[in-house]
Amino acid sequence: MSTQGIQGIMIETSSWKESKDFWTQLGFKLDFETDHGSGQFSHPDGGPYVFVAERAEGATLEVQPVLGVADSEGFTPPAAGKVAIEFKPRHWGVMEMLVRDPDGRRLSIQGPLPEGVSAPADG
């Protein structure tokens, strides 16, 4: 099974407040904000969402494409990549697999929770 394409982009930041101002000044609307320095933005004209997450000072910051799948149980990762973390339920209500491309960059593959699987309470 292939993916449903890029659904969003996860961007890590050293300053949630500055990033929030930056994305809203570019015309994005804040869809929701968490209580731990992160939130999701969408653009009124469409396109993938942008999820911004604050990281500790000095951390190496990443930008990570988020690809969707209709069924995590039916997805086979590409042979040219490497699975960094197998599918697991995440606290934001999806199954997530982290895959590394041939150059080592991480991609998040996300699909709906299978029937009977619950999201954990926290990260």
pLDDT of residue 12: 97
Range in 61-65, 103-107, 116-120 with the lowest mean pLDDT: 116-120
123 pLDDT above the threshold of 80? no
CA distances in angstroms from 15 to 12, 34, 57, 59, listed in the order given: 9, 14, 9, 12
CA 94 from chain centre, in angstroms, equals 10
Q: Which CATH superfamily is domain 6-112 in?
A: 2,3-Dihydroxybiphenyl 1,2-Dioxygenase, domain 1 (3.10.180.10)
Q: Mean pLDDT, to the nearest integer, of 58-82?
A: 94
Q: Mean pLDDT, to the nearest integer, of 62-86?
A: 94
Q: Which two tokens stand for residue 62?
A: 């990443």
**Which residues have CB under 8 Å from 58's CB, separation 6+?**
none
The amino acid at residue 3 is T
Cα distance between residue 73 and residue 91, in whole Å: 18
Q: Mean pLDDT, to the nearest integer, of 95-106?
A: 95
> Over the chain, what is the mean pLDDT?
94
pLDDT of residue 119: 84
Domain boundaries, the chain: 6-112
Say if CB 42 and CB 83 are below 8 A apart: no
Secondary structure E strands in the chain: 6-13, 29-33, 38-42, 49-54, 63-68, 82-89, 94-100, 106-112
116 pLDDT above the threshold of 90? no
